[in-house]
Chain A
Amino acid sequence: AQSVTQPDIHITVSEGASLELRCNYSYGATPYLFWYVQSPGQGLQLLLKYFSGDTLVQGIKGFEAEFKRSQSSFNLRKPSVHWSDAAEYFCAVGTGGGNKLTFGTGTQLKVEL
């Protein structure tokens, strides 16, 4: 069965600093991979997704992620964090044509001004 590990429960960065959130997945076939963001009291919003092709994918709000098959990783990055990026971030793997999502436990991002 597929699984997703987000090893960092909480991360604190200073505004303007770079950010990398880690995600490792386990899945037997080529995965569909996603990063979602959840602001307090809100639903989840898709940041970016990977299905195939270029392993570096660009998303909204200046985020990018790189798929590394050899490491089973799909880490999320942003070169300069803004205070409004404080939220919870979820990595997910999609099966069944990408429709059935398995989420990681999430990483709570705090941004210090």
Chain B
Amino acid sequence: DAGVIQSPRHEVTEMGQEVTLRCKPISGHDYLFWYRQTMMRGLELLIYFNNNVPIDDSGMPEDRFSAKMPNASFSTLKIQPSEPRDSAVYFCASTLWGETEQFFGPGTRLTVL
């Protein structure tokens, strides 16, 4: 298996632009997580899905952030409009019910100028 796939690996954009981060979980996994990593706040859980349904989005910082999972093999995290303070590494992870180990993707490094 290729593991969790994230794209793009690096994104540089200007303030006010829309940013879309993409994630393909490991095939067969039914949980998907989005995390944000910054120097100031460390690793934060933003939202997670079970069977494509958002279960807990209490970590989503603002209405500018939205996440979707239209099917079992694809999820997006969108920021609109982006701001410099959104600059961070965004990780996607997936797991299977009962497995508990989360498998992380390589992350997307977002820079908002």
Binding site for B on A (CB under 8 A): 32, 34, 36, 41-46, 49, 51, 90, 94, 96-106
Contact = CB atoms under 8 A, between A and B. Distances in A.
A102 B45 contact: yes
A19 to B, nearest CB: 21
A100 B45 contact: yes
Interface in B19-70: 31, 33, 42-45, 48, 56
B104 A45 contact: yes
B45 A101 contact: yes
Nearest to B95: A99
Contacts of B93: 43-44
Interface of B: 4, 31, 33, 42-45, 48, 56, 91, 93, 95, 100-102, 104-107
Given A43-B105, A99-B31, A99-B48, A32 B42 contact: no
A90 B44 CA distance: 12
A45 to B, nearest CB: 7
A105 B41 CA distance: 8
B100 A94 contact: yes
A100 B100 contact: no
Given A99-B48, A99-B95, A100-B48, A46 B42 contact: no
A43 B48 contact: no
Return the 5 tightest CB-CB contacts between A and B, nearest first.
A43-B104, A98-B100, A103-B43, A44-B104, A105-B42
Contacts of B91: 43-44
B100 A49 contact: yes
Given A99-B48, A99-B100, 20 more contacts: A32-B100, A34-B101, A36-B104, A41-B106, A43-B4, A43-B93, A43-B104, A43-B107, A44-B104, A46-B101, A49-B101, A51-B100, A96-B56, A99-B95, A100-B45, A100-B48, A100-B56, A101-B33, A103-B43, A103-B44
